[in-house]
Amino acid sequence: MGESKRSQSSERDALRYGLDLGLSLIDTAEMYGEGGAEEVIAPVIADRRSDVFLVSKVYPHNASQKGAIAACERSLQRLKTDYLDLYLLHWPGSFPLGETLEAFQTLQQAGKIRGYGVSNFDVADMEEVVSLPGGKAIATNQVLYNLTRRGIEFSLLPWCRQRSIPIMAYSPIEQGRLLNHRTLKQIAQEREMTTAQVAIAWLLHQEEVIVIPKSSRIEHVKQNYAALDLKLSEAELERLDGAFPPPRRPVPLEML
Active site residues: 32
CA–CA dist 35, 38 (Å, integer) = 5
What burial letters (b/e) apply to 109-120, b meaning 16+ CB within 10 Å?
Answer: eeebbebbbbbb
Inter-helix orientation angle 97-109/65-79, to 10°: 50
Answer whether 83's CB lies under 8 Å from 113's CB: yes
Could you tell me the sign of the dihedral formed by the alpha carbons of 88, 94, 97, 103, in that order? negative
Looking only at the bridges linking them, the beta strands covering 86-89 and 167-170 are unpaired
The CA distance from 145 to 154, in Å, is: 12
Tell me, rounded to whole angstroms, the distance of Cα 169 from its chain centroid.
5
Facing residues of 57 across strands?
Answer: 88
User: Which amino acid is residue 45, in one-letter code?
Assistant: I
- Rg over alpha carbons for the chain, rounded to the nearest Å, is 18
Q: Which amino acid is at 164?
A: S
3-state secondary structure of 144: strand
DSSP state of 164: T
